[in-house]
Amino acid sequence: MTDDGQSIFDEPRHVTVLRRMRLIKPEHRAQASRRIMLAVAIGWLPLALLCLLQWLILQRPSSASFFTDVAAYARFLIAVPILILSDYIILPRLDAIAQYFVHSGLVIPRDQPRFDEAIASARRLSLGVWPSVGMAIVVYALVLAIALTISPEALLDWQHAEGTLHLSAAGWWYLLVSAPLVLGLILSWVWRIGVWMRFLHLLSRMDLRLVPSHPDKAAGLEFVALSPRIFAPLAFAIGVLAAGTLGNEVIHLHLDPMNHIAVPVATAIVVVALLVSPPLLFARLLMLTRRRGVFEYGALVRRVGAEFEDKWLARDKTIDASALGEPDFSATTDLYGVASNVYAMQPTLFDPRVATSVAIATLAPFAPIWLAVIPTKVLLSHLVGMII
């Protein structure tokens, strides 16, 4: 949140609609619990009830397969709540990062209007009516394309029935309500990441007050390099979605997850690439800052070093024990230490530890699947071997 109280990300448009419909009370706007319960009530509960009715009343045993559908539980009872909670975890932290650009003095006074316009532009893109309408159109266009192209054999048992599009009542609800709910939450986060990238791109084109000798080796922008860690809940939710689908295949089709290692690896690669990309937009600015620092600090070090050598390395100069107490040595050493930060500047805002943490968050939901297929005896033997 900037000084004028404006933030990039605030109440999403669909939350405003729910509040106006009195489905979310004003005092609960800062809480996610009612949104999560509403999402579960819309996305998962009707599917469970419809499948139960089809199973018990219409005598369709295939509908009972819904209650062993790991992907359904993963999507609607784990991933959807996490995606909603992410609004309250990630967005305030992104606003705090934007605020820090001003409070830390990185944005110089003459660029303040450009910064305010960048904030306003990002806010319009994230909260405007047309982005929300466009997102809904894209979601249902994708759902329609899937419905028209998917073959009946690809449908799950509880989704399948004879008739139009070969969909059961639960299948229709999944197609028209549940699937768009999950897809809409995912695409809304992709859109927000795009808005965040655009905002950082605008900042990277400003004349930021960067310090080449900053000890963070990033001219004072290391906090941006660490920002992808904020998206760990989102990475975990995406991992849950992918792991749920793989879990279904392992349980019902008896696939060996060790033979499908490409699924979690590809998921982690895509998520890491998406989330660590925004800070890379400062690469050009870092390169220019390092180049400037090399010239400026290099010239300063050369002058000081030349004077130091002229004073202490002259042939007629006598060196005794008292020379160790001279401030010239410590001052020169300190200057060389500061200048070395310039030459050690990293070329991009990329931290391998951050990328690793995001990858771990994405891969964590796959761990139960792998552990389920590893024999307990083998697992215990490995643990004992690690301890002993």
* Residue-wise pLDDT tens digits, 156-212: 888 887 765 678 889 899 999 999 999 999 999 999 999 999 999 999 999 999 999
Give the mean model confidence (pLDDT) for residues 121-130: 82
The mean predicted confidence, pLDDT, of the chain is 84
pLDDT (0 to 100) of residue 4:
47
| Statement: residue 329 has pLDDT above 80 | no
**Cβ(280)–Cβ(350) under 8 Å?**
yes
CA dihedral sign of residues 42, 48, 54, 57 = negative
Residue 130 lies in a domain: yes
Give pLDDT tens digits for 252-309.
777 877 778 889 999 999 999 999 999 999 999 999 999 999 999 889 988 888 887 7
pLDDT (0 to 100) of residue 257:
78
Instruction: Please give the C-alpha separations between residue 313 and each of 67, 302, 309, in angstroms, as whole numbers.
Output: 84, 15, 5
* CA atoms of 44 and 17, how far apart (whole Å): 21
Residue 190 lies in a domain: yes
pLDDT (0 to 100) of residue 260:
81
**Which range is least confidently modeled, 68-72, 270-274, 381-385?**
381-385
The total of other beta-carbon atoms located within 10 Å of residue 76's CB is 23
Nearest Cα neighbor of 9 from 274, 199, 180 is 199
Identify the burial level of 366 via C-beta atoms within 10 angstroms of its C-beta, where 0-12 means exposed, 13-18 middle and 19 or more buried: buried
Give pLDDT tens digits for 226-247.
999 999 999 999 999 999 999 8
- How many separate domains does the chain show? 1
Give pLDDT tens digits for 199-224.
999 999 999 999 999 999 999 999 99
Residue 248 lies in a domain: yes
Token pair recorded at residue 358: 């995001």
Give the mean model confidence (pLDDT) for residues 63-79: 92
Residue 375 lies in a domain: yes
Residue 325 confidence class, pLDDT cut points 50, 70, 90:
low
| Statement: residue 91 has pLDDT above 80 | yes
Nearest Cα neighbor of 355 from 266, 206, 225, 247 is 225
Start-end of H helices in 215-316: 222-225, 232-252, 262-276, 283-312
**Cβ(8)–Cβ(96) under 8 Å?**
no
Residue 316 lies in a domain: no
Q: What is the three-class DSSP state of 317?
A: coil
Range of the domain at 21: 13-288+350-387
Listed in sequence order, the residues at least 6 apart from 383 whose beta carbon sits closer than 8 Å to its beta carbon are none
Give the mean model confidence (pLDDT) for residues 56-63: 84
Question: If you ran DSSP here, which 8-state letter would residue 167 be given?
Answer: B
Give the mean model confidence (pLDDT) for residues 140-166: 80
Residue 103 lies in a domain: yes
Strand partners, 60: none
Question: If you ran DSSP here, which 8-state letter would residue 227 be given?
Answer: G
| Statement: residue 352 has pLDDT above 90 | yes
Question: At 167, phi and psi to the nearest 5?
Answer: -110, 140
* CA atoms of 188 and 332, how far apart (whole Å): 54
Give the mean model confidence (pLDDT) for residues 112-116: 93
The total of other beta-carbon atoms located within 10 Å of residue 206's CB is 18
Q: What is the DSSP string of 62-109?
A: GGGGGGG-HHHHIIIIIIHHHHHHHHHHHHHHHHHHHHHHHHTT-S-G
Residue 60 confidence class, pLDDT cut points 50, 70, 90:
confident
Helix-helix angle 112-127:80-103, to 10 degrees: 170
Token pair recorded at residue 41: 């009530």
pLDDT (0 to 100) of residue 28:
46
Greatest mean pLDDT among 26-30, 353-357, 381-385 lies in 353-357
pLDDT (0 to 100) of residue 323:
55
Residue 5 lies in a domain: no
Residue 72 lies in a domain: yes
Helix-helix angle 13-20:129-149, to 10 degrees: 100
| Statement: residue 317 has pLDDT above 70 | no
Nearest Cα neighbor of 139 from 87, 173, 176 is 176
Give the mean model confidence (pLDDT) for residues 307-330: 66
| Statement: residue 369 has pLDDT above 70 | yes
